[in-house]
Structure 1
């Protein structure tokens, strides 16, 4: 399915549907394809927005979790969204958290994290990324999922192309190091918003204990594990992911019951 990419100022983004904004932030090797089942389902109920994060386009000094958080802040202010449900996968979750913690923006209504970095993540290995080794890249891409068949040739080709570009590799390493340095453990208790954690029980990158730690540190959070699922639940088990997310969002829109 193809979606129209819109442009405003320096921002490129997808915006589908009407209603409260559901803003989706992708990870380091993420792309629009990661969110296609989610967009297709939720555009019936919400305004689904995917900003194209300039992970590998920013100057090297700005290539950090903090630099991306500033970009998200400027994007949201430029578009003037309100009552936002902010969803991030992997590095996108980390960026969303840093954005919120730095701004405590009243524009945000809830936070949804899936396989988020910010506390702990397994890298792709000390030698990663190996340039020119297609088989190595294929295995590392498969490692992201419970079902290795999710690592399609198209997906592996995308990652291979990125890791074969020297400047892009430098920026990937800069972002990965920034994510490790930017540990949010001491700050997460400041998040009072309703927070949903959806995690793959077989996530190799941010294992289940990371989800439990997020759940412990974020006061108003609820945690759901999905079996036979890796680091990108919205791709690997979209129906189950969408059902959990929709139930959470519907609960937020219900009027509070008076005791």
Structure 2
């Protein structure tokens, strides 16, 4: 099914070639097996799953640790707590932190309902509203937030929209907008048969091919509309409103969110700290967990 699908995002051949040139500069072949993500060991965390009702939806979540500092983890837009954070959940310092990871409505094990990518309001704003209520129900009216990829975008938005509940912010390989190079990437990635086997199989394993394909194409369609109607703006209006301590972690070799994006965000959050991981690709937090967690935990503990 996926291999017969035409690209939904119309980008010129010149723009597509520009993205390929960017990938080549990183000495990686576009969409090669290791260009986007590194292979990481799967860790089964299903024994930690718990359920809680939020806004009438049964949400799957995990809570580990007994520390005084609560930290909420935000997955990628079509990810799950197991795929995006499972390998590092129990590697946090669980004496100092209480770590909460969860599956968005329609993602991971929080199905039904289906994932709603019909608008920014249902998707981005909807997710952070669920996150806020989830943490309140768990007894954490104020907490730190750590988001990766699309979850990093939502973490940025949440820190700007709800500053009263966010103690500190960590955003990993995230975007606040996307331009024509990013849309060239999404154009090529709109057909999942173009993905490497490593990247595709990790998502199909969670959702099955049909549901994952439906979610992914819905997200790409929304991105195209945001690009056409809002000049690609995801959350730029919230960046200047972020006042909490902020850490931006980014992979130098990430083709999904090229390093220019972290510099764009830093310019609009002057007090933010930036850490570039020179060998990091898109899933740097899973490939280099010890280095990543050392950076994150030092940042969080310095706030004491």
Same fold per TM (> 0.5)? yes
Looking at structure 2, the residues matched to 60 and 152 of structure 1 have their Cα atoms a distance apart, in angstroms, of: 21
- Counterpart of 2:196? 138
**Cα gap change, 1:177 to 1:235, in 2 (>3 Å):** farther
Please say which of residues 167-176 and 14-23 is displaced more in the overlay: 167-176
Q: Distance in 2 between matches of 1:93 and 1:52?
A: 15
- Residue-by-residue CA offset, 1:80-122 (whole Å, 9 max, x unaligned): 3144110000100111222232222x22110000011223372
Contact (CA 8 Å) 1:91, 1:117: kept in 2 or not? Answer: yes
- For 1:153 and 1:58, locate their aligned partners in 2 and report how far apart those are by CA, in whole Å: 18
> 1:213 aligns to what?
264
Could you list the per-position Cα deviations for residues 176-227 of structure 1 after superposition, in whole angstroms to 9, with x for gaps in the alignment?
Answer: 4477544333431211100011111111111111111212211321000111
- Unpaired runs of at least 5, structure 1: 140-150, 254-259
Matches within 5 A, 1:131-210: 133=193, 136-138=194-196, 151=198, 154-155=201-202, 157-158=204-205, 161-162=208-209, 167-174=214-221, 176-177=223-224, 181-210=232-261
SS at match of 2:243: coil
Aligned residues: 238
* TM superposition shift of 1:155: 1.6
1:47 shift after superposition: 0.7
Q: Deviations over 1:13-42 (max 9, x none)?
A: 110111221110010242223213431121
Distance 2:279 2:286 in 1: 13
Partner of 1:39: 89
Query: Kindly tell me: are residues 18 and 177 of structure 1, through their superposed partners in 2, closer, same or farther at Cα, counting changes over 3 Å?
Result: farther
Cα distance change, pair 210–166 in 1 and its aligned pair in 2 (3 A):
closer
CA distance in 2, matches of 1:159, 1:7: 18
Pair 1:16–1:237, CA change in 2 (3 A)? same
**Distance in 2, Cα, partners of 1:174 & 1:81:** 35
Structure 2 unaligned regions, length at least 5? 1-43, 108-113
Residue in structure 2 matching 1:128, options 189, 194, 197: 189
Would the aligned equivalents of 2:186 and 2:220 in 1 still touch at CA under 8 Å?
Answer: no
Distance change >3 Å, CA 48–CA 177, structure 1 → 2: farther
SS of the residue corresponding to residue 231 of structure 1 reads: coil
For residues 39 and 65 of structure 1, what CA distance do their matches in structure 2 show? 24
Q: Is the 8 A contact 1:138 1:156 kept in 2?
A: no
Given the alignment, which residue of 146, 156, 159 partners 1:97? 156
Residues 1:22 and 2:85 aligned together: no
